[in-house]
Amino acid sequence: MKITVNTKSFIDAIGWTVKSMDSKDQDAFIVLETDENSEGSLSHTNSFSYMKAPFEVVTAEDASDNKLALSGQFLSKLVPALNNSGDTVNLELTEKSGTRTLNLKGKTGRFSIPIHGSRIPKKPETEKLGEVSDTEYFDYILRLTKLCAADTEGLMPALGAVDVKLSKEDESLVMMASDRYALGEITLDFEPANDFEDDDERHYLIPHGNSGLISPTRGSSDSIELVFDKTSEKFGYRFVDGREALFVLKDADPMTYKNIKSSMSDMVEHSIVTDRKELTKAISIMASLSWDEDDTFITIDPNEGLVVHDSHKTNKMNVSSEDISADQEYSLQFVREIIEEAFAPINTAKVKIEWGSSDSTPVVLTPILDSGDDDESVFVSAATI
Task: Give the model confidence (pLDDT) of 172-228 as tens digits.
Answer: 999 999 998 999 999 999 999 988 876 656 899 999 999 999 999 988 899 999 999
Which residue range forms the structural domain that includes residue 236?
A: 128-248
* Residue 64 binned pLDDT confidence (cut-offs 50, 70, 90): confident
**Same domain assignment for residues 159 and 223:** yes
Instruction: Say how many domains are in the chain.
Output: 3
For residues 13 and 102, the answer to whether their CB atoms sit within 8 Å is no
Question: Which of 380, 331, 377, 375 minimizes the C-alpha distance to 350?
Answer: 375
**Same domain assignment for residues 283 and 368:** yes
Task: Give the model confidence (pLDDT) of 119-141 as tens digits.
Answer: 898 999 999 999 999 999 999 99
R_g (Cα) of the chain, nearest Å: 25
**Same domain assignment for residues 106 and 133:** no
Give the integer Cα–Cα distance in Å for 353 and 274.
Answer: 8
175 CB burial (10 A radius; 0-12, 13-18, 19+): buried
For residues 198 and 168, the answer to whether their CB atoms sit within 8 Å is yes
Over pLDDT 90: what percentage of the chain?
Answer: 76
Give pLDDT, residue 17. 97
Give pLDDT, residue 72. 94
Structure letter (DSSP) for residue 100: E
Give pLDDT, residue 225. 98
**Same domain assignment for residues 281 and 370:** yes
- Cα torsion 314, 319, 320, 321: sign: negative
**Same domain assignment for residues 194 and 227:** yes
**Same domain assignment for residues 37 and 78:** yes
* Domain stop point among 87, 113, 139: 113
**Same domain assignment for residues 7 and 99:** yes
Structure letter (DSSP) for residue 169: T
pTM of the model: 0.90
Q: Does 253 fall in a domain?
A: no
**Same domain assignment for residues 378 and 276:** yes
The C-alpha angle with vertex 321 and arms to 317 and 327, in degrees rounded to 5, equals 100
* Residue 97 binned pLDDT confidence (cut-offs 50, 70, 90): confident
CATH of the domain at 336: 3.10.150.10
pLDDT at position 293 over 80? yes
* Residue 152 binned pLDDT confidence (cut-offs 50, 70, 90): low
**Same domain assignment for residues 280 and 350:** yes
**Same domain assignment for residues 201 and 143:** yes
pLDDT at position 62 over 70? yes
Structure letter (DSSP) for residue 21: S
Q: In what order do the strands lie in the sheet with 40-45?
A: 66-71, 29-34, 40-45, 49-55, 244-248, 234-238, 223-229, 127-133, 191-192
For residues 66 and 115, the answer to whether their CB atoms sit within 8 Å is no
* Domain stop point among 113, 141, 173: 113
Q: Does 313 fall in a domain?
A: yes
Q: Does 122 fall in a domain?
A: no
Give the integer Cα–Cα distance in Å for 50 and 46.
Answer: 6
Q: Following DSSP, what letter does each residue of 282-325 receive, concatenated?
A: HHHHHHHT-S-TT-EEEEEETTTEEEEE-TTSSSEEEE-EE---
**SS3 letters across 173-199:** EEEEEECCCEEEEEEEECEECCCCCCC
Task: Read off φ and ψ for residue 319, nearest 5 degrees.
Answer: -125, 135
Over pLDDT 70: what percentage of the chain?
Answer: 98
Q: Does 241 fall in a domain?
A: yes
Question: Which of 308, 351, 342 minimizes the C-alpha distance to 181?
Answer: 342
**Same domain assignment for residues 6 and 84:** yes
For residues 126 and 42, the answer to whether their CB atoms sit within 8 Å is no
Give pLDDT, residue 201. 66
